[in-house]
Structure 1
């Protein structure tokens, strides 16, 4: 519900019921016939003709089930944990680039090829160490047999064992280095040594940035690509202060973009930042139930949250008026006297507004039709 905004400077023009200049008493304006009690600045008294002219009616606090539709807006962003910078484990020259900005790729796809002589040297070192390890193993076994029969000294056996252990550790290290640059050491032979390595995609997603070009020399610290994993898409939505208490983690919402407002997707609130920003809104973070290509980083989005029905107390919308960001109702005191009472409102729909702490209005007659006119009369008095 949106309350009508009041402009003090337009009050007189708005409620003039008839011209007062040179006319009878019964034809004067509502304001000219309005009397105010001396005991309260929040009480207004109307003449009988004014009551009839305004058409005042009254109501009382009511109970009913209510639902609230909260509308949010914000932007699609990517979680930092789902933005990856890809680099080469070892330096070299870019031989080829197999993707372009914005292109989609699958996990394990070759993004680029890097070439350098050091890759050859690494494979060569592995094969040489592997051969040396085999020789060291045979020597160690032989020395164990000789030592058993005391044909060789303990020192010779210890030296053979140390050589074998050292080469075994070296081979394991070289094998791991080959693995992280994408070369399978188990299948490596002197006949398939290569000078190039592939840069593979670690997941399926989209290319956000390409930071190199063919022929460029790269160092291990250089970033080649920035990749986006779409499963990390988050929706950062603004929640205005009046709605903050209604938005909770775990709520299901529907989202859509401005280009296709009729095509809606499901999402879920995953967190609500517990602070109000300078613009008067908090941030709720939502995640799509399933990745969708129509939502991309930086896109403006809208969302709707249907607040669960709850049994509450309130008044018809017409009975609640707003002035300077505060809400009021008018109590009928009898004898054409009406007192303004400040209230705190909750959720609202097309016909009804929830009143928080409704006990202050218990057993009171509340003005329904004419509440707006009473507010203007009272504020005109202050002016």
Structure 2
């Protein structure tokens, strides 16, 4: 009876060992397959990362809103004076040739007097010069008198012209002075239409020669002044499209075009300025407002 039991137990033991080896082989194969699947799924992720870090087709810059030189004017006079009257406030709109202030200065009155006197003397001396010229042609007068009358006339004429030029610099027309006579106050007029800024005058203040009274700015044609760097020059060209946002105006996007590229690089920070025109106009634009811009590559 014992001889029969032992072979049966031996067969059962061998069967269990075979099943265990089969199970281990199956687990090993399953792990290998899973590893292959894992490697296969990781490949698209590598491609996605590479795509995300690739350089986009635009360059980003910081800058500010500026105005062209012909759209802003600093008002200063070649002579000084005391402000007699003004009501100008910063932000106020004024039209071209509108009187923004009047100044009082005795030198202005003297200049007008000099012009009127030299003009009258020049007329008399011109008539005398023409008379002496005719007599000299007929040999009825000496050449000395003719030359003297010519010199007197030309000297007075130059004095008249110099006074007229000084009056023109002050915005006074000599023709108006001849018609209306001496003006006691110098009228300061706006050279362009626009908004007043940096008003530095008040009644009773003395303004020195060359000292700015105020500025007039015309916001109708704003521009962008962007700070770029030498490493970005290859991606910027005249005519490149620009998209920008203005600080304080939300996510609204505006458009422009590169019109000028600086030709000198700053030696300290290796930067240069790029100017761009602005396509859209907006009453909220102010010179000096910061912008963030993107310049499209060509």
TM-score, normalised to structure 2's length?
0.70
Q: Select the residue among 60, 66, 80 that pairs with 1:78.
A: 66
Please report how far the alpha carbon of residue 68 of structure 1 lies from its aligned counterpart in structure 2 after TM superposition.
Answer: 5.0
* Counterpart secondary structure, 2:215: strand
Determine which structure has the larger strand proportion and give its number.
Answer: 1
Q: Select the residue among 201, 212, 219 that pairs with 2:201.
A: 212
* Counterpart secondary structure, 1:188: helix
Determine which structure has the larger helix proportion and give its number.
Answer: 2
* Mapped partners of 1:217, 1:162: distance in 2: 41
Q: Select the residue among 86, 98, 110 that pairs with 1:109.
A: 98
Structure 2 CA distance for partners of 1:50 and 1:226, relative to 1, 3 Å = same
Look at both structures and tell me which one has the larger radius of gyration over its CA atoms: 2
Structure 2 CA distance for partners of 1:290 and 1:107, relative to 1, 3 Å = farther
Residues 1:133 and 2:122 are matched in the alignment = yes
Instruction: Indicate the residue corresponding to 2:161 in structure 1.
Output: 172
Structure 2 CA distance for partners of 1:276 and 1:122, relative to 1, 3 Å = closer
Instruction: Indicate the residue corresponding to 2:37 in structure 1.
Output: 52
Q: Select the residue among 215, 225, 229 that pairs with 1:226.
A: 215
Q: Select the residue among 110, 113, 118 that pairs with 1:124.
A: 113
* Counterpart secondary structure, 1:222: coil
Q: Deviations over 1:223-258 (max 9, x none)?
A: 212343436743244669997754433112233324
Gaps of 5+ in 2: 1-23, 48-54
Please report how far the alpha carbon of residue 108 of structure 1 lies from its aligned counterpart in structure 2 after TM superposition.
Answer: 2.4
Instruction: Indicate the residue corresponding to 2:278 in structure 1.
Output: 288
* Mapped partners of 1:52, 1:283: distance in 2: 54
Please report how far the alpha carbon of residue 122 of structure 1 lies from its aligned counterpart in structure 2 after TM superposition.
Answer: 1.6
TM-score, normalised to structure 1's length?
0.56
Instruction: Indicate the residue corresponding to 1:186 in structure 2.
Output: 175
Larger CA deviation: 228-237 vs 209-218: 228-237
Structure 2 CA distance for partners of 1:190 and 1:266, relative to 1, 3 Å = closer
**C-alpha RMSD of matched pairs (Å):** 4.1
* Mapped partners of 2:269, 2:111: distance in 1: 58
Please report how far the alpha carbon of residue 290 of structure 1 lies from its aligned counterpart in structure 2 after TM superposition.
Answer: 5.5
Tell me how many residue pairs correspond in the alignment.
262
Please report how far the alpha carbon of residue 159 of structure 1 lies from its aligned counterpart in structure 2 after TM superposition.
Answer: 0.8
* Counterpart secondary structure, 2:198: strand
Say if 1:78 and 1:230, in contact at 8 Å, map to a contact too: no
* Counterpart secondary structure, 2:152: helix
* Mapped partners of 1:55, 1:215: distance in 2: 86
* Mapped partners of 2:246, 2:57: distance in 1: 18
Structure 2 CA distance for partners of 1:298 and 1:187, relative to 1, 3 Å = closer
* Mapped partners of 2:229, 2:158: distance in 1: 62
